[in-house]
Chains A and B, each alone.
Chain A
Amino acid sequence: MSLKTEVSFTLNGRAVQVTVPVDMNVLTMLRDELNMTGTKYACGEGECGACTVDVDGETINSCLMYAVDCEGRAITTIEGLRTADGLDPMQKAFVDHGAIQCGFCMPGMIMQAKHLVAKNPNMTDDDLRRGLEGNVCRCTGYYKVFDAVKDVVRGTAEAAE
């Protein structure tokens, strides 16, 4: 039985307090302790990106981050993107382009794609491909994913004009 400790942080805009084993990773905490199952477990070693979440404005593999390290931080998961107005523009673009086959990699893809647009609203196609290097889709659906993100990039650029 591992030692447990309490962590307090912000999850999708809400204050959360949870007691976790000190060696538990963020992904397991989200899925098993907080019932936030939108974030997916696949490889468990940082190769596939299915577990990507946003921590204080940077995306990370939640399977590699320790839950105890969430203390005081702000975490955003796929569940946090939906607003009162409905889906986030990135989610909507993925739906509109049918950028989904089995869908398992999508929560991580969308979190990473949102981070890329936020970090660099003027990204090139190469920036986009490089930025999604850490997200694996085994249905090989990358082209529709690229099209969806490019739509959002164009929309963001137009809105800025």
Chain B
Amino acid sequence: MESITQPGIEAYEAPASIADAVQVLARGDVTVLAGGTDLTVQVDAGRITYGKTLMNIRRIAELQGVSEAGGRISIGALTTVTNILDDDALAQSVPVLRATADRFASMQIRNAATIGGNLVNASPAGDMIVPLLLLDADVELASWRDGAVSTRSVALKDFFTGPGKTVRADNELLTRVTFAKPAAGFAARFEKSGPRPALEISTVSAGVAGTLENGVLSNVRVVLGAVAPTPLRAAKAEAALEGKTLDGDTIAAGAAAACDDCTPIDDVRASAWYRHHLVRVFMERLLTDVAEN
């Protein structure tokens, strides 16, 4: 019976350009392959069924690498987590990306896993999503329209709609993620939790960013992962911290507000109660670190 409802893959494509790739996507019912680290596991677990076409995008040179132009940094969708970890210039301008990449899975996974895959996979616990939300990043989506490649930009904070779900349409390819190069004085921190340092799917992840001047934190961004259906910008925590002197009272108020922002669940990795506890602890730790450094 399964073979009738799931006819399997009928075509394999390995396009060399974005233009070719979005034309394949325009046919419909396409499964996109990049690093493979999530696709294999999700197919084996029955969470993903292959479409009629399997499209391997790893041959598209345009999707590779990190670049900077006009004060914005662009990370191509195929940039691996290892590429980010090893990029000294990127680590210089955005240290939080290296700090997060360093906590990501294992080296073998980092060597294959792509930034685009981590975003499109849309796990509530996706680690690279947290610093990119701190950076107020945008994602670029390409599609084939009227005989040409058409692109649109979506704010990353509006990109996720639920676990494994995004606003990306089936005919769209995520090509890159971009963000303004942080100004001097911008501080960003990342923390994640799990019982072991390696290969850990975050029980809770958290990020804090802002500009600290004369002890006052402004332009505050707070991101929480694995405590809601999507990684989220914590609006109440940001409001509690914005423009305040970053002292013990402010830190406690920010941490308490972050607990109000999130809606964690009980699951196999942790209870909701414990996740709330971790949010408070991480917020206090991260904010104290920003205040002291």
Could you tell me which A residues sit within 8 Å of B by CB distance? 1-3, 5, 22-23, 25, 44-47, 49, 52, 58-61, 63-66, 68-69, 71, 112, 115-116, 130-131, 133-135
Between-chain CB contacts (< 8 Å), 28 pairs? A1-B8, A2-B8, A2-B9, A3-B11, A3-B12, A22-B12, A23-B9, A23-B50, A25-B40, A45-B44, A46-B37, A46-B108, A58-B82, A61-B109, A61-B112, A63-B40, A64-B112, A68-B12, A68-B14, A71-B14, A112-B108, A130-B107, A131-B107, A133-B107, A133-B197, A133-B199, A134-B105, A134-B108
Number of A-B contacts (CB under 8 A): 89
**How far is it, in angstroms, between the C-alpha of A11 and the C-alpha of B53 when the chains are bound?**
27
Interface centre among B82, B106, B108 (most CB of A within 10 A): B108
Contacts of A47 in B (CB 8 A): 199
Please name 12 further chain A to chain B contacts, defined as beta carbons within 8 Å, in addition to the given A22-B54, A66-B56, sorted by A numbering.
A23-B50, A23-B54, A25-B36, A46-B37, A46-B108, A58-B82, A60-B112, A64-B109, A68-B12, A68-B56, A116-B107, A133-B106
B198 within 8 A of A: yes
Which B residues, 173 to 218, have Cβ-Cβ distances below 8 Å to chain A? 197-199
CB distance from B67 to the nearest CB of A (A): 21
Contacts of B54 in A (CB 8 A): 22-23, 68
Contact of B112 among A5, A44, A65, A135 (CB under 8 A): A65
Contacts of A49 in B (CB 8 A): 106, 108
B270 within 8 A of A: no
CB distance from B166 to the nearest CB of A (A): 22
Q: Are B14 and A3 in contact (CB under 8 A)?
A: no
Q: Are A3 and B10 in contact (CB under 8 A)?
A: yes
Q: Are A134 and B198 in contact (CB under 8 A)?
A: yes
B111 within 8 A of A: yes
Contact of B40 among A45, A58, A71, A116 (CB under 8 A): A45
